[in-house]
Structure 1
Amino acid sequence: MLGRPVFRPGGLTRYSRLASSPWPATTALRPRTPISPILSRTAASEAGEDDSGHIKTERNEGIFFLDNVFPLKFQWLSRIPLLNWEQQAINAMSRIDQPNAAFASPLSIVHRAFPETLPVKITEVLPRIREGGAFVKFSHDANIDVFELEGTLRKYMQEKPIRPWFNPLRRVRAFLVRGQPWIEDLYRLPSSRIRVEFLPTSPEASAAELTQEQIFTLFRKYGKLFNIEPQPSDSKVLPKYALVDFERARFATMAKACLHGFVLPESEGGGKTGTVLNLKYESQRKSYWWWDWMTNHPRIVLPLLVALFSATAVAVFDPIRIFSIKTHITHAFGLGDYKDYTVVKFLKKWIMRGYDAITLRKRRAEDDSFRILWEDRQETVEQLKTWLIETADTFIVVQGPRGAGKKELVLDYVLNDNHQQKIVVDCKKIQEARGDSATITAAAAEVGYRPIFSWMNSISSMIDLAAMGTIGTKTGFSETLDQQLSKIWNNTATALKEVALSHRKSDDKDANLGDDDWLEAHPECRPVVVVDNFLHKSNETGADMVYDKISEWAARLTTSNIAHVIFLTTDVSFSKSLSKALPDRVFRTVTLGDCTPEVAKKMVLRHLDADGDDHDKKDDSEEKKPRPSESRADLDELDSVIQVLGGRLTDLEFLARRIKAGESPGSAVQQITEQSASEILKMYLLDADKNWSPQQAWILIRDLANNEKIRYNEVLLNDAFSSKGEEVLQALEQAELITITSQNGRPNAIKPGKPIYQAAFEYLREDDVLRARFELAVLTDLAAKEAKTIDKCEAELRILAELPNASDLKPRVFYLLQKVLASQQAIEKYEAKSGGYKKILKEKY
């Protein structure tokens, strides 16, 4: 036995012997004989003797370093706070006193490593878990060469190798410590790279910078070297250094333990005064050939990564998105699949009757009053239902002004029972979204496209921007709004096709047909796509792209017999946009106008009597109360006010609510007229940031107030519409101030945009101050145009006067003079009228 360990709290275990140990002072020929040990010295701390970081040696003393004594894989445990891993490991291993066991204490390994015939006396064993080895301090006779001892020990360990349990493929090795090892307890983990610094032996001396050959000679004995990287020649870092890469971290720990603090003499290239080698671990990243290739070829790698990412996204997320769209179309998680159950029927009947779940009181739905309108439009409803069971691959367009009931007609009456599988795309929500991400999110929400990662578009754009600065080209990660919308519409088309084909049965007579042929043969099984608010705010920037994508997608659905498409729009020029997608088709169009006065009156009365229906269902013994329409005497004027109000649904509903609140029909229409006049004043006259001027809008308001219909071409001949007159009229029609009627395919007349606008125009015309203000502005514009005409004529007359044969141009001169005279007379007439309007503006508020 070599001895037993001595422990010190907070310190590292050291194995010691007395100088009078039973091992006698050895010679080169006399073997040692072990006897029982006696402890004599105090254990050193983890920072060396007296916390100096070094092992003190006297004359005729030396140090061997044995590696592969402890595993290096658990070095990270030393970073855990309050866990003294090294001390606990040594305490545990020191209790194992089995020299022949694989899992033995460091003392046992030293006992097996040193032969009995080796002429040394071991005085201390200093385990070092950080380096995975142990320092063995020994003494020897003065006439013994320590290098011969190292050779003898290494030869013996090769003949009788010791292989630890944690690394059975490699044996324990021993080398003589030539320098002054630094025993430190810092949080530094061993690495396979060592930084070798060249220091002078004294401050006034200079150090020599070793060559790669000299470094190789010194370090190769400790293990296989990968590379020796000298300090760059232009580097001004001091002290000078070189980087040495070993094949394994154990080789580096052995080199650091044996050569740290070694003074290289002049004979070995250390200079006149010698050079001190200062060794420290240098962290390095593991380099792999495939990683180097990827980082050095971004033009190839980045597109491949994009393709891989796209393929993964398609394979993983697209099936989920298609399933989500299908559930949105079929309402798979709603009550539609359970509509035949008695409970569902009862609940549906309860809700449809308008029972309040809390008060248990009936409340008539106001929409019931509009059934009269749909009965009047029954022919239109039947026409739309007929088109939906035909195989024609074209669009169905329902056009009409706002408030005409287009959406209610299609969803509540045409598609109410026969087509449960439908999808409604509201272009208004998509168009009013701000920014690309919001537009993508709105479009996805309309069709049930989930999951949607709209925020990834911003991150991908940043990646593309960084790639432009590095490789000069885009990676393709980011997708434009056009591409994102195309992806949403394509997945929706796939889901619609799967929904349509879900009606196909194996025992169907057409089961042998292909998918496209089967869809063409069964138009009744196709879902219906309703595109609401088509061309909403179509004059805004970027709107054309969104509507073009929707038109192209709808054309693909109809031509492929995947679904029926119905467009709901207020724009009368819808054919221009839709013709881009289907240039060789004639659209099936339904135009919804205002209802007739007779139907309008019935609707208002039905709305007033909605709450009175409950009285009709009381017991016959009770006296029935009269209906509201029968008890009110002011309803006699309803015929006259409806003539003024017109048959627009929203206006009729507004009128009915006012009458129901207690107002008379005349007072209600007067309030509606004043409100419409305020809207016209704000939207068309006072806001100059439009495609028309306030003067042009006023001319139309003034002329329509005098006549319910004016000639289209007559307006174009007006001086105020001499420049881009047709564009101005189309913009005002799009804004719903006017309505342009056609005859034989050409525009022939202009009418107010809404029936109530006729009364509103007359109301505005009666305002003397407002009329004087805009008439004065019109006259000022006309006078300015006449002044420009005079300037042009005068400029041409000056040019003609300078010509050599001016007498031959008398007809042209006379013509120009006549134009100047006519313009001057017009200016005088305008100024005379302007004087009267200025007087009104000065006298009235």
Structure 2
Amino acid sequence: MLFRVFTVLAHKNNYNLIRLPFSNILNRNQNHFSKHFKLINLRHFSESKPFYYSEIVETIPTNSTEKTPQIPPQIHYGKLFFDNIYPLKIGSFDFRHYFVRSNIPRLERKVKSGKWIPLESIMPYNFKVEGVIPRKKEGGMLLEFSYQVDPSQKTKALDEISKLVNDHLVEHNVVPWFNPRPQKAYIVKGKPFVEDLSLYPSSRLRVEFQGPDVSIKSLYPIFRPYGLMRHIFLMPSSSKETPRYATIIYKKMRSATSARYCVDGISINSTKFDIFYETPLKTNVFFNWVASHPRISGPIIAAILAGISYIIFDPIRIFLIESNITQRFDIKEYKIYEIYKWLKKETYERFKNQDVKLEEDTLAWKEREQEEEILKKWLSEPPETFIIVSGPNGSGKSKFINRAIHNKKKKIIIKCDQIRISHNENEFVLKLAKQVGYKPMFFSLIYLSNLIDGLASAVTGQKTVGFSSTTDSEIEKILDALEIALYNIAPDVFKAKVNSSRKSDLYAEHIYQSYDPEDIPVLIIDSFISKNAQENMELWDHLAQMAARLVEKKIAHVVFESSVTGIVRHLSKFLPSKTFNIITLSDAPFERSISLVKKNVKGTDGVSLEGLESSVQALGGRFSYLSLFIDKIRGGKKPSEALNELVARAKIEILKLAFGDNTEDAKSIPWSDIQFWAIMKRLASNGILSFEEIKSSPFFKDDDTSIREMEDADLILIVQSDDKITSTIKPGNQLYRVAFQQICSVELFKANMELKTNKYLYNFMFDKIKKYEEELQSLGKSLVRQDGKWLWVLGNDNQVPITIKERVDFLLDRIHKCHIKNAKYQEEIDKWKKVIEISGKNIEKKEQLT
């Protein structure tokens, strides 16, 4: 430290010139000083240059009896580290530091007021507090202080100061609220590295040696005063890693933080210590055992998680499903919603340009009203069997069901068509859960469990160890919860019947007379089974199994809505002993269709309705097409233009579904192009076709699989006669017949399909001729022609048996007829080849002209 001093001139006697701090001069005896010395006027020195002062210490002459004076004490600086001032910050998530303050002026006032150290006036060696440095991360505080002592007594002075401070802490029993351990103070022996990095304290210290290695025996007494140590690891001498280091493990983390700040930077035998925290590799006996025995721990953990889910989350999920069924939280079920609708109608909607909505109520013609009453009657009775509402796409099945259950208090609808449109399995399950009301869903935990199962399977070699959750199991959980919820809200008399199955039928009739039909829950499964029934098979099977249990236990009505004709065959596997209640919806008759259209296009300005009836007759009674037709007329199109647009769209649909976009696409279609062409051209001309006739034709060979696939694709419709013995084939809808006619009228397309058809028939007959000829050859081996006669070589009299002769005559006749047919087929082949050639040239000419 640089001291400003001034010069004092000596007296006549002999004196020595010694530099001393200014404070020492002030503390000297002023009388003695003025007696022997004369001060120089300091005003003569420049203020801009440093100057010195000197004290002339009187030196005793050799003949004097006075003693030689002692060297005065010097100022030194030190640091104390106080432990347990703050909570240790063990990670970024540790929030205890929000409840403590680290204001430096406040800390200095507390220190000087005697909270952690004695007052400065009591402390020896002219002890003074110079400042404080809070260390919240390490849970401590650095106290900087100064003191005066002879350099040779420095160690003794520091020990005395440390003892006084610790005695003060013990005497005042300074214990923080966050840790019952008393506070301690340690003298900082080195030069600690004070940082604000994201390095959290640890009970392990890494002591790096900047110099030769230090032995464990030398390290122990240096680090032991700060706490009990578990172990000291010294780097092997054979290791070439630099810098070399030792690892010290303390029993407590606070011991490590104290040692880190008090010993960091000291030098032992020319070796400097650099100390850092070392994050330990955490191990746990329990987790090690779990990881080492997955075949045992896996099922146990899975059972524990399942138990927690069953106790905590399953009741919540069932309650939410019940609320979804009963519309407990649906505002539309309360009177306040009616008030809201009235206010909206009388305020907002008066100033809004309202679009004219299609009056769908007119679709409820008399035939539907009768069927609706039948469905309502079935729903008011106790559940006995499945209710199936079938019909082609666009025939209004969903709206028909919604009208029938409008006043039902307890209902739930599962829309399978929305569930099927999913990008992955998680989305598939999520959509089903959302429709049912199954909450909460922990997809992150499901994904994590599948990941753990995959890793465990890779380690153990087994396919599964009990963690994984498949789509099938998730669907089963959701539907099981739905079944429990339906059971809970079912009428009590139904549950009494289930719980007392031994009661007589008379008792059952009695209890069924005491329920409200509106209280019977109704489950609607909309769009059940897709066209390709093999897709999402686990969903169809689980829904059917749950529905069968609900009906058998008489818990709820189950209504299936589907446009797939094979629905009855599929459901029969799950309820084989019951006959189903089936309602089949068809297209509206012409009178109802034209009435619907006229009512909804009435008042359309600037649009000609010429040809409306003929267009509606060609369009048919399919409600989806009628809605589009009405929208187009409202948009300003004429009826004929609207019809042509719908026919054009239908033609594109037919060509894509029936023939495919390309060769690769056609391979995936479950019928051949000539099979559909054989049906389409007959329906285009006649509108109806015998099912048995086309089935027995060479195109199908008595196999109706392809015909059924066409029906599932809604291209055709198979209608049974009243006697349930014969069937007929019709277009999938009336609009498709118009599209069939227009497709068949395309000359080039027709020629191409007829060419393929005749080639197929030609090959078919050729194969039959070949088969007949092979049989003749086998018979000819038993015949020998001699003297213009055929002799039977296998008989004794060489006479040809009558049966053989008749068989030969039959084969020859069949070959002759096949040849005649093939001749016709060949003529057709040549004819259509010419048509294709001419059509191609005409197209080329048109292209050249354009």
TM range (shorter): 0.5 to 0.7
* Corresponding residue SS for 1:728: helix
Q: Which amino acid aligns with 2:388?
A: V
Q: Which amino acid aligns with 1:547?
A: W
Matched, 1:92 2:71: no
Q: 2:257 & 2:339 partners in 1: Cα distance?
A: 81
Kindly tell me: are residues 332 and 22 of structure 1, through their superposed partners in 2, closer, same or farther at Cα, counting changes over 3 Å? same
Return 790-799 or 674-683, whichever deviates more: 790-799
Matched, 1:435 2:424: yes
Matched, 1:181 2:190: yes
Q: Structure 1, residues 189-209: CA drift from partner, whole Å, max 9, x if none?
A: 875433344554xxxxxx356
Contact 1:123 1:139 in 2 (8 A): no
Q: 1:802 & 1:232 partners in 2: Cα distance?
A: 100
Return 303-312 or 549-558, whichever deviates more: 303-312
Residue segments in structure 2 that go unaligned for 5+ positions in a row: 1-20, 29-70, 502-507, 785-791, 795-799, 844-850
Q: 2:241 & 2:393 partners in 1: Cα distance?
A: 80
Matched, 1:210 2:188: no
Aligned to 2:4: none
Kindly tell me: are residues 214 and 660 of structure 1, through their superposed partners in 2, closer, same or farther at Cα, counting changes over 3 Å? closer
* Corresponding residue SS for 1:402: coil
Matched, 1:73 2:86: yes
Pairs within 5 Å for 1:209-608 = 210-211=215-216, 215-216=219-220, 219-220=223-224, 223-231=227-235, 235-248=239-252, 251-252=255-256, 276=271, 278=273, 280-285=275-280, 299=294, 310-312=306-308, 317-334=313-330, 337-338=333-334, 357-358=350-351, 366-371=359-364, 373=365, 375-412=366-403, 414-417=404-407, 419-452=408-441, 458=447, 461-462=450-451, 464-465=453-454, 468=457, 479-501=469-491, 522=515, 524=517, 525-539=519-533, 542-596=535-589, 600-605=590-595, 607-608=597-598
Matched, 1:728 2:706: yes
Residue segments in structure 1 that go unaligned for 5+ positions in a row: 1-15, 24-57, 112-120, 201-206, 265-273, 615-630
Q: 1:683 aligns with which of 657, 662, 684?
A: 657
Q: Which amino acid aligns with 2:826?
A: E
Q: CA deviation at 1:252?
A: 4.8
Q: Structure 1, residues 350-391: CA drift from partner, whole Å, max 9, x if none?
A: 89xxx96447999685324334x2x23443233222222222
Q: Structure 1, residues 390-414: CA drift from partner, whole Å, max 9, x if none?
A: 22421011122223332333222x3
Q: Which amino acid aligns with 2:695?
A: L
Contact 1:195 1:244 in 2 (8 A): yes
Aligned to 2:827: 832
Q: 1:291 & 1:60 partners in 2: Cα distance?
A: 62
Aligned to 2:66: none
Contact 2:83 2:254 in 1 (8 A): no
Contact 1:538 1:544 in 2 (8 A): no
* Corresponding residue SS for 1:586: coil
Aligned to 2:698: 719
Contact 2:192 2:260 in 1 (8 A): no
Kindly tell me: are residues 107 and 645 of structure 1, through their superposed partners in 2, closer, same or farther at Cα, counting changes over 3 Å? closer
Contact 2:594 2:616 in 1 (8 A): no
Q: 1:110 & 1:520 partners in 2: Cα distance?
A: 99
RMSD (Å), alpha carbons: 5.8
Q: 1:257 & 1:666 partners in 2: Cα distance?
A: 94
Q: 1:566 & 1:443 partners in 2: Cα distance?
A: 17
Q: 1:261 & 1:309 partners in 2: Cα distance?
A: 52
Contact 2:83 2:183 in 1 (8 A): no
Contact 2:446 2:468 in 1 (8 A): yes
Pairs within 5 Å for 1:692-707 = 692-707=671-686
Q: CA deviation at 1:431?
A: 1.8
Q: Structure 1, residues 681-704: CA drift from partner, whole Å, max 9, x if none?
A: 443235424211221110111233
Kindly tell me: are residues 155 and 466 of structure 1, through their superposed partners in 2, closer, same or farther at Cα, counting changes over 3 Å? same
Contact 1:369 1:610 in 2 (8 A): no
Q: Which amino acid aligns with 2:570?
A: S
Matched, 1:738 2:716: yes
Kindly tell me: are residues 469 and 843 of structure 1, through their superposed partners in 2, closer, same or farther at Cα, counting changes over 3 Å? same
Q: Which amino acid aligns with 2:718?
A: I
Aligned to 2:758: 779
* Corresponding residue SS for 1:714: helix
Contact 2:203 2:256 in 1 (8 A): yes
Aligned to 1:271: none
Kindly tell me: are residues 250 and 545 of structure 1, through their superposed partners in 2, closer, same or farther at Cα, counting changes over 3 Å? closer
Q: Which amino acid aligns with 2:659?
A: L
Q: Structure 1, residues 314-357: CA drift from partner, whole Å, max 9, x if none?
A: 55554554444444433345566556999699789x89xxx964
Q: Which amino acid aligns with 2:396?
A: G
Return 227-236 or 466-475, whichever deviates more: 466-475
Q: CA deviation at 1:709?
A: 3.8
TM-score (norm 1): 0.67
Q: 1:158 & 1:610 partners in 2: Cα distance?
A: 97
* Corresponding residue SS for 2:232: strand
* Corresponding residue SS for 1:529: strand
Q: CA deviation at 1:612?
A: 7.0
Return 232-241 or 84-93, whichever deviates more: 84-93
Q: CA deviation at 1:433?
A: 2.9
Question: Quick one: percent identity of the two aligned structures?
Answer: 25
Kindly tell me: are residues 110 and 739 of structure 1, through their superposed partners in 2, closer, same or farther at Cα, counting changes over 3 Å? same
Kindly tell me: are residues 169 and 728 of structure 1, through their superposed partners in 2, closer, same or farther at Cα, counting changes over 3 Å? closer
Aligned to 1:194: 205
* Corresponding residue SS for 1:104: coil
Q: CA deviation at 1:828?
A: 5.1
Contact 2:766 2:818 in 1 (8 A): yes
Q: 2:680 & 2:715 partners in 1: Cα distance?
A: 9
Q: CA deviation at 1:106?
A: 7.6
Q: CA deviation at 1:155?
A: 10
Q: 1:104 aligns with which of 96, 100, 117?
A: 117
Q: 1:513 & 1:751 partners in 2: Cα distance?
A: 47
* Corresponding residue SS for 1:719: coil
* Corresponding residue SS for 1:777: helix
* Corresponding residue SS for 1:433: coil
Aligned to 2:747: 768
Q: 1:672 & 1:575 partners in 2: Cα distance?
A: 32
Contact 1:705 1:758 in 2 (8 A): yes
Q: CA deviation at 1:530?
A: 2.0
Aligned residues between the structures: 720
Contact 2:209 2:271 in 1 (8 A): yes
Q: CA deviation at 1:182?
A: 2.6
Contact 1:496 1:527 in 2 (8 A): yes
